[in-house]
Amino acid sequence: MSGAIVLSAGGTGGHLFPAQALAGELSRRGRRIVVMTDSRFANYATAFPGVDIETVPSSPMGAVTAPFKIAAGIVTAFVKLMRLKPAAVIGFGGYPSVPVMLAASLARLPTAIIEQNAVVGRANRLVMEKVRLVAAAFPIARFAPRDKSKIVLTGNPLRPEVTALWGAPYPQLHHDDAVRLLVFGGSQGARAFSLIVPAAITRLPHALKQRLHVVQQCRPEDMAAVREIYANAEIRAELAPFFTDLPARMANAHLVIGRSGAGTVAELMAIGRPSILVPLPSSMDDHQTANADILASEGAGWRVRERDLSPDLLNQMLTGIFADPADLKRRATKAHALATPHAASKLADLVEKLAAGA
């Protein structure tokens, strides 16, 4: 096919994983893919085989030098886009996408943005009135564009490791079975879980502690203390600062405790697992609460604010939750029912129509 598709995304997994899914789908359709982002992309380059990379200057919006770097980024992106002559430019949010999407608008190229959260992010809000389409992973709760007709609900494109586990059967959980709990909080959220979760688990009934198997993400500086707490309580625990096979561990879990970033929520839906979600208090515009409420409001999990989450409260929740395996399985089914299938394919269809001028 003629005409490259330019994907522009922030340098974190939350923005790049959906871009990875769309890139794979478009590549299978014969499209050439160019990713425009900042230097942090080097950490994820192996997830985009055969993709051309173009770096563009950018800056967090609040930085003193932001106006100058964004202006330089717009000029750089404009020159590169004029050279590439892409069929369409697609933004995935994050501050590195801002200069690219503004340059694409100035160049009058077909444009769209992908919003992974229930609340439109700051970067996407800066450009959403200028683009032709807004593809939404979830119904938009706040900061929707003025022209609602440009919103298309596509779901969140998922990385291949997650789609391979779509609707995985819920693990058997009878009264003598091991109870598997997965805990992860991302780089910004793991510290709170390292303080609260072990303290709650050590207070569980003895019979439940004997059956419990915890897999928990911990910051390196918290690892020794958390390991000691679990060892003293004779609780089986596997700890690591990062899990490369997190989707598989999610599928293996009976319950997940985590933050409620868009990727986490979409993956819980896709695989179908019940969860206790604790929105990151510092999340921009409290978007993680809106994400968590999508699951909690449908009985697919629980949402607890971090300020309310104490070891005693979590202990009471876990004791009650694990006492009712049938309810856990029902919540797993409800979580999966909220998933949007074939999101990457739907989004690729949208991009193809945009590129064709439809």
* 167 found inside a domain: no
Instruction: Please check whether residues 272 and 346 belong to one and the same domain.
Output: no
Whether 152 and 137 have beta carbons less than 8 Å apart is answered as no
CA angle (158 as vertex; 156, 162 as ends), nearest 5:
135
Reported confidence tier of residue 159, pLDDT bands at 50, 70, 90:
confident
Average pLDDT over residues 135-158: 95
Q: How confident is the model at residue 358 (pLDDT cuts 50, 70, 90)?
A: low
Average pLDDT over residues 256-273: 96
Q: Tell me: pLDDT of 301 over 90.
A: yes
- Do 311 and 206 lie in a common domain? yes
Q: Which of 263, 268, 273 is nearest to 12 (CA)?
A: 263
Q: How confident is the model at residue 166 (pLDDT cuts 50, 70, 90)?
A: very high
CA atoms of 197 and 230, how far apart (whole Å)? 10
Q: Are 56 and 82 in contact (CB under 8 A)?
A: no
Shared-domain flag, residues 192 and 312? yes
Cβ within 8 Å of residue 94, ≥6 positions away: 9, 10, 11, 12, 14, 15, 37, 121, 123
Residues 317 and 351 in one domain: no
Residues 137 and 194 occupy one common structural domain = no
Comparing 56-65, 186-195, 207-216, 344-353, the range with the smallest average pLDDT is 186-195
What pTM does this model have? Answer: 0.91
Does 197 lie in the same domain as 144?
no
In terms of domains, do 348 and 311 share one? no
User: What is the per-residue pLDDT across 37-57, written as a single tens digit (0 to 9) for each?
Assistant: 887 776 667 778 889 989 899
pLDDT tens digit sequence for 87-103: 999 999 999 999 999 99
Do 11 and 25 lie in a common domain?
Answer: yes
Residue 163: inside a domain: no
DSSP sequence for 98-148:
HHHHHHHHHTT--EEEEE-SSB--HHHHHHTTTSSEEEESS---B---S-G
Q: What percent of the chain has pLDDT over 70?
A: 97
Check whether 15 has a pLDDT greater than 70: yes
Domain assignment of residue 174, yes or no: no
Question: How many domains, the chain?
Answer: 2
Neighbours of 275 (CB within 10 A): 27
Q: Are 121 and 287 in contact (CB under 8 A)?
A: yes
**Residue 318: CB partners within 8 Å, gap ≥ 6?**
181, 200, 201, 204, 208, 255
Residue 58 has pLDDT above 80, yes or no: yes
Does a structural domain hold residue 258?
A: yes
Residue 345 and residue 331 share a domain: no
Q: Is residue 201 part of a domain?
A: yes
124 plus 218 within the same structural domain: no
More confident residue, 39 or 193: 193
Banded model confidence at residue 200, pLDDT cuts 50, 70, 90: very high
For residue 314, being part of any structural domain is answered with yes
Residues 151 and 188 in one domain: no
Rounded Cα–Cα distance for residues 222 and 210 (Å): 24
| Upper half-sphere CA count for residue 348 (Cβ side, 13 Å) | 22
Looking up residue 330, the CATH number of its domain turns out to be 3.40.50.2000
Residue 310's nearest CA partner among 161, 182, 199, 203 is 199
pLDDT in tens, 307-330: 999 999 999 999 999 999 999 999
CA distance 263 to 278: 14
The boundaries of the domain holding residue 229 are 179-337
Give the mean model confidence (pLDDT) for residues 184-205: 88
pLDDT tens across 69-88, in order?
999 999 999 999 999 999 99
Q: Is 329 in the same domain as 190?
A: yes
The whole-angstrom separation of Cα 307 and Cα 318 is 18
Q: What is the mean pLDDT of the chain?
A: 93
